[in-house]
A and B are shown apart, each in its own frame.
Chain A
Amino acid sequence: MLLHSVLHILKKKLKNQNPHILEHDMKVLLPLAIAMSLLTTAHVGAEELSGTLKKVKESGVIVLGHRDSSIPFSYLANDAKPIGYSVDISNKIVEAVKKELKMPNLQVRYNLVTSQTRIPLVQNGTVDVECGSTTNNIERQKQAAFSLGIFEIGTRLLTKKGGAIKDFPDLAGKNVVTTAGTTSERILKKMNEDKKMNMNIISAKDHGESFLMLESNRAVAFMMDDALLAGEMAKAKKPSEWDIVGKPQSYEIYGCLLRKDDPQFKKIVDSAIASTYKSGEINTIYKRWFESPVPPKGLNLNFPMSDDFKELIAKPTDKSAEQM
């Protein structure tokens, strides 16, 4: 609760005040907020357990939702167990839950979700927390709660290196591919309509197919979250042939999906994420997945941390980018 009120104050400042002052406030307030939140979590044990924590305590199992091919966030490589950046974050959450419930032998079960099933599976209790590449947005907030942001992306273009496409205006009259159901799809369609760009937009079923459309010359560019574009690029036959270009058309914050109205559990999840940021451990995790070779092919995404994400780490929030 305290954390929330502090964040609330921060947000007000964000909206109304000079950014310099804000930054200063932030440096002072954030550690305070985290310390307070840690303090409050320590008290949860004394309270009556409710919601997810109660369920986990009683069943002795926590269920993590994961994806099968959101490289490098959450995917299956050589093992039945998922790996990835977001999986590492969810493991931090599990550790915090173990500590909170004093259950060192808490069982962890992984449950595969898709973009269509993730929200209902969290809602109906099949999955307790889903950390993958789920964008936090207002529509989804009606159905589920989001943790503090775990990543921030910009939506950009993947295209032939040195080709005709340098930025979004160059797409006029061309075939452009994006993945069905993503924010990029909506932005692209809106841009096409508003600016009368006369693009032909292909909505492929997943990122792999989107890239295939690009690779097989059906489209001149692939619009998507830059981190996922880096993932697809790394999988290409010749990664050096491709380039990520264009001014980001939107920024999106990924978060872990939780059930709504479960403050006890959300507090644990948020504090686990916040302390990973605070301790600097996030840098190790980031490096492991974005700047080192990753399974299954040992590809290095070479995707350094963006300033936007650095800012998110400094000022964690559970709001969507549009609400900022």
Chain B
Amino acid sequence: MNYHWDWGVFFKPTGIGSEIYLDWFMTGLGWTIALALTSWIIALFIGTIIGVARTLPNKIIANLAAGYVALFRNVPLLIQLFIWYFMVPDYLPESLELWFKQDINPATSAFISTVICLGLFTAARVAEQIRTGIEALPQGQINAGLALGLRLPQLYKDVLLPQAFRIIIPPITSEFLNVFKNSSVASLIGLMELLAQTKQTAEFTANLFEAFTLATLIYFVLNMSLMLLMRKLEKRVQVPGLIALGGK
């Protein structure tokens, strides 16, 4: 295959202002991190609420939460994004709709749509992990809390969630990494995050392999550092014999 390799391409001017192609990647990385972290905060917050709701004794609330999970987990992410970006604004009051579509920067409106979409989507996945974590705890932990007169919110806040979170750090780490990867859907509504910048560089330079190799490298380094960070966190909050303890 007679491909024309040129690794110097990243340092070439883009022809727009004084930027070089590497600047595009850095801008893209900035958007990717901003998207992923914002979405993750939303996902953790809502996911915890939904996950807890799924384990509550109240069947109506538990079923509503299960419905949420089924809905957001089973509709493809891309379709959800198009709904949030293209359909939802049309149902807003007109002034708000125009503000969203025309007054704010298109990058901002794409950002808002993506973090809502990705936040709620990931929340469904986080909720399942939280639920699993809580259900993995021995019934004795709940009974001990109840017997001491802990109210339900106190039981969750002080007894169940601190343990559940520790148990689910490994699966939650992979959800965290997924948010970074999934944030690339934003490129499909015109937000110039890492993947969009990569595609753009590939198109403009025709050095497709170099562009995608660099992007792969950036995603890899990003994910590895996040993984190491989460490992550290896991070690720090580790409680020996957490799961082995307790009984009926």
B interface secondary structure, majority: helix
If A186-B15, A200-B105 touch, does A139 touch B206 (CB 8 Å cutoff)?
yes
Q: Is the CB of B205 within 8 A of A218?
A: no
Q: What residues on A are CB-neighbors of B16 within 8 Å? A: 186, 189-190, 193
Complex formed: what's the CA distance from A190 to B3 in Å? 28
Q: What residues on B are CB-neighbors of A219 within 8 Å? A: 106
Q: What residues on A are CB-neighbors of B6 within 8 Å? A: 142
Q: A70-78, A95-103, A117-125, A156-164: which one contacts chain B?
A: A117-125
Q: Is the CB of B206 within 8 A of A119?
A: yes
Q: Is the CB of A217 within 8 A of B102?
A: yes
Interface string of A250-279 (1 = CB under 8 A from B): 000000000111000000000000000000
Q: Is the CB of B190 within 8 A of A143?
A: no
A216 within 8 A of B: yes
Q: B49-57, B135-143, B145-153, B192-200: which one contacts chain A?
A: B192-200
Q: Which of B1, B15, B200, B208 contacts A125 (CB 8 A)?
A: B1
| B13 CB, min distance to chain A CBs, angstroms | 11
Q: Is the CB of A116 within 8 A of B202?
A: yes
A115 within 8 A of B: yes
A-side interface size class: 35 or more
Q: Is the CB of B101 within 8 A of A180?
A: no
Interface string of A106-122 (1 = CB under 8 A from B): 00000000011001100
Q: What residues on A are CB-neighbors of B2 within 8 Å? A: 123, 259-261
Residue of B whose beta carbon sits closest to that of A139: B206
If A143-B4, A212-B86 touch, does A205 touch B188 (CB 8 Å cutoff)?
yes
Q: What residues on B are CB-neighbors of A123 within 8 Å? A: 1-3
Interface string of B96-134 (1 = CB under 8 A from A): 001001100111011000000000000000000000000
Interface string of A59-76 (1 = CB under 8 A from B): 000000000000000000
A45 within 8 A of B: no
Q: Is the CB of A139 within 8 A of B205?
A: yes
B158 within 8 A of A: no
B-side interface size class: 35 or more
Interface string of B9-30 (1 = CB under 8 A from A): 0000011110000000000000
Complex formed: what's the CA distance from A143 to B86 in Å? 37
List which B177-198 residues lie within 8 A (CB) of chain A. Answer: 187-190, 192, 196
Q: Is the CB of A181 within 8 A of B208?
A: no
Q: Which of B4, B106, B189 contacts A200 (CB 8 A)?
A: B106
Q: Is the CB of B206 within 8 A of A180?
A: no
Q: Is the CB of A203 within 8 A of B102?
A: no
Q: Is the CB of B90 within 8 A of A216?
A: yes
Q: Is the CB of B204 within 8 A of A186?
A: yes
Q: Is the CB of A203 within 8 A of B86?
A: no
| A57 CB, min distance to chain B CBs, angstroms | 20
| B192 CB, min distance to chain A CBs, angstroms | 7
A213 within 8 A of B: yes
Residue of B whose beta carbon sits closest to that of A177: B190
If A116-B202, A119-B208, A200-B106 touch, does A193 touch B1 (CB 8 Å cutoff)?
no
| A173 CB, min distance to chain B CBs, angstroms | 11
Residue of A whose beta carbon sits closest to that of B211: A116
A232 within 8 A of B: no
Residue of B whose beta carbon sits closest to that of A182: B203
If A120-B209, A193-B16, A216-B101 touch, does A203 touch B1 (CB 8 Å cutoff)?
no
25 cross-chain CB contacts under 8 A: A115-B203, A116-B199, A116-B208, A120-B1, A123-B1, A123-B2, A139-B204, A139-B206, A140-B206, A142-B6, A142-B206, A175-B102, A182-B203, A185-B200, A186-B204, A193-B16, A200-B107, A202-B190, A203-B196, A205-B187, A205-B188, A212-B86, A216-B90, A217-B101, A217-B102
